[in-house]
A and B are shown apart, each in its own frame.
Chain A
Amino acid sequence: MFVHLHTRSWFSFRAGGSGPVDLVQRAAHLGQPALALTDRHGVYGTVRFQKACRDAGVHAVLGAEVLVDDAPLVLLARDAGGYRDLCQLLTRAHLAAAGIALLDDGQMPPDTSDPLPTDQRAVPSVPLADLATLSARLLCLTGGRDGHLWHCLAHRRYKAAQHWLGTLHDVFGDTLYVELTHGLLPEDGRVALRLHDLATAEGVPPVVTNDVRFATPLHWQRYDLLTCMRLNHPVAGPHPQRPRNAEAYLKSAAQLQRLLPFCPDAFERTGEVAERCRVDLVPEYITPPSANLPEGITANKLLVDLCGAGLNRLYQPAGQAAARAQLHKELDVICGLELEEFFLVVREVVVEAKSRGIRCAGRGSAANSIVAYLLGITAVDPIRHNLLFERFLHGGRKGTPDIDVDFDSDRRDEVISWMEQRFGIEQTAMTATLITYKLRLALRDVAKALGWPMTKVDQLSQSVPSGQARDVAEHRGPIMKVLGTSPLTELLLQRVADLHLCPRHLGLHSGGMILSRKALSHFTPVQVSANGVKVVQFDKDDVEAMGLVKLDVLGLRMMACLSEGASLAQRHEGVDIDFDGMPLDDNKVYQLICSGATVGMFQIESQGQMHLIARNQPETFDDLVAEVALFRPGPLQSGMVHPFIRRRRGWDPVVYEHPSLEPILRDTYGIILFQEQILDVAHRFAGMSLAAADDFRSLMSKVHDPVRMQEMGVLFIAGAMERGIPQAIAESVFENVSHFIGYGFCRSHAAAFAQTVYHSAWMKRYHPAAHMAAFMQHRPGFYNLMTLEEEARRFGVPVLLPHINHSGTRYDLTRDRAGVLAIRKPLTAVKGLSDEVAEQIVWARMAGPFTSVEGDPRISGSQGARRPGSVRSPGCGRRQFT
Chain B
Amino acid sequence: MIYGPRNCMNVTMKSYHEPIDVAVGDDGLPRTWRWRKSVWRVLRILDRWVLQSRWWTRECAEKRAYLLVEAVPETRAESYSCAVEIYLKGDGDAWILARILH
Residues of chain A whose beta carbon lies under 8 Å from any beta carbon of chain B: 184-190, 220-221, 224, 235-236, 244-247, 259, 450, 487-488, 491
Contacts and interface: CB of A to CB of B under 8 A. Distances in A.
B80 interface: no
Interface string B1-43: 0101110000000000000000000000000000000000000
Contact of A184 (B50, B55, B56): B50
A450 B50 CA distance: 24
Most chain A CB neighbours (cut-off 10 Å) among B48, B49, B63, B66: B49
B4 A190 contact: yes
Contacts of A185: 49-50
Top 3 closest A-B pairs, CB basis? A245-B50, A184-B50, A245-B52
Contacts of A220: 52, 55
B4 A184 contact: no
Contact of B52 (A187, A188, A236, A246): A246
Contact of A190 (B2, B50, B52): B2
B56 A187 contact: no
25 contacts: A184-B50, A185-B49, A186-B4, A186-B5, A187-B5, A187-B6, A187-B47, A187-B49, A188-B49, A189-B48, A190-B2, A190-B4, A190-B47, A221-B55, A224-B55, A235-B56, A236-B56, A244-B52, A244-B53, A245-B50, A245-B51, A245-B52, A245-B63, A247-B50, A487-B57
A880 B41 CA distance: 100
A244 B50 CA distance: 8
A185 B47 CA distance: 9
Nearest to B4: A187
A188 B6 CA distance: 12
Contacts of B2: 190
A259 B55 CA distance: 25
B56 A450 contact: yes
Interface string B47-75: 11111110111100001001000000000
A543 to B, nearest CB: 38
Contacts of B66: 186
Most chain B CB neighbours (cut-off 10 Å) among A184, A246, A247, A488: A184
A186 B49 contact: yes
A594 to B, nearest CB: 60
Nearest to A238: B53
Contact of A491 (B47, B50, B51, B56): B56
B52 A488 contact: no
Given A187-B6, A236-B56, 20 more contacts: A184-B48, A184-B49, A184-B50, A185-B49, A185-B50, A186-B66, A187-B47, A189-B48, A190-B2, A190-B4, A190-B47, A224-B55, A244-B51, A244-B53, A245-B50, A245-B51, A246-B52, A247-B50, A259-B48, A450-B56
A499 to B, nearest CB: 15
A252 to B, nearest CB: 16
A245 B52 CA distance: 5
Nearest to A450: B56
Contacts of A221: 55
A487 B56 CA distance: 9
A42 to B, nearest CB: 29
A221 B51 CA distance: 13
B36 to A, nearest CB: 26
A488 B57 CA distance: 8
Nearest to B27: A258
Nearest to A488: B56
A187 B49 CA distance: 8
Nearest to A224: B55
A245 B57 CA distance: 16
B76 to A, nearest CB: 26
A491 B55 CA distance: 10
A186 B47 contact: yes
B83 to A, nearest CB: 13
Nearest to A243: B52
Contacts of A189: 47-48
A254 to B, nearest CB: 13
Nearest to B6: A187
B48 to A, nearest CB: 7
A188 B4 CA distance: 11
Contacts of A245: 49-52, 63
